[in-house]
Amino acid sequence: MKIAILGTGAGARQHATRLSTLGHEVIVGTRVPEATLARTEPDMMGTEPFAAYLSTRPGLALTTFAEAAEAGEMVINGIDGANAVTALSALPASALAGKTLIDYSVPYVYQQPGDAEHPWPTPWGEMPRLDPVDTDSLAERIQRALPSTNVVKTFVTQEQETVVNPSEFADGDHTMFLAGDHDDAKSAARRLLNAYGWNDLVDLGPLAAARALEMYAHFHTAVGLALGGRFGVKIVRGGSLR
């Protein structure tokens, strides 16, 4: 299958590598390919320049967001959360219409020291804010901006290394979640998750549940800081609610 990944960050690379290994044709999208390939310094998270990554993966193609989306039969969104709606809205209407768009962007708003009224310090600076929260989500904003596209929210409750390879913990016996308003798109996302190795999937229902997935990001970070490393999440089912 031709799968477009919009984004060149660390998460996008995990998906690109794994999907290639699974035999898919992967097209990676970026704003300006020449500019992305010209970068020589790691990004603020220490991720190596994209050209260095690409040099060891000759099967991958890098092109613009628009050309990648146009080429993909399925599209994965890994664009920085604060810019995702604007970037996706700028694509030609034909590029995403009728397609499944798996969204894993998190609506982080990064803060400078002194920005937050009640700061939450972390080893890498102040915890970013989430915006939107509670009454809206980034995934819903993307869906409203792209009414002809079928948006599914998933992946965000795990580190991307774990998303693409759940077997690294507990023989893969832990839980992944998805939400969306289109059953066909959720089935496509399920097939992809199964191919990655996920067996325990919880469908949270409509895309409005993406609010819960995105707001979970802070809890995920807090647990990761407490444990000092990566971890899995397992839902243990109980009886019916009274």
Ligand X SMILES: NC(=O)c1ccc[n+]([C@@H]2O[C@H](COP(=O)([O-])OP(=O)(O)OC[C@H]3O[C@@H](n4cnc5c(N)ncnc54)[C@H](OP(=O)(O)O)[C@@H]3O)[C@@H](O)[C@H]2O)c1
Q: Which CB atom, from 5 or from 242, has the smaller least distance to ligand X?
A: 5
Cα torsion 155, 161, 165, 171: sign: negative
Interface with ligand X in residues 35-54 (CB under 6 A): 36
Count of residues engaged in binding ligand X, rule: CB under 6 A: 25
Is the CB of residue 18 less than 8 Å from the CB of residue 81?
no
Using CA of residue 157, residue 158, residue 164, residue 170, what is the dihedral sign?
A: negative
Tokens of 177: 């979640």
Interface positions, 51-70, toward ligand X (CB under 6 A) = none
Question: Under rule CB under 6 A, which residues in 106-125 are in contact with ligand X?
Answer: 106, 108
Among 3, 5, 11, 95, binds ligand X (CB under 6 A): 11
Measure the CA–CA gap between 69 and 66, rounded to whole angstroms. 5
Residue nearest to ligand X (CB): 9
79 binds ligand X, rule: CB under 6 A: yes
SS3 at position 154: strand
Q: Which of 21, 55, 83, 148 binds ligand X (CB under 6 A)?
A: 83
Q: What gap in Å lies between CA 126 and CA 174, rounded to an integer?
A: 30
Footprint on this chain of ligand X (rule: CB under 6 A): 7-12, 30-31, 36, 78-81, 83, 87, 104-106, 108, 155-156, 158-160, 163
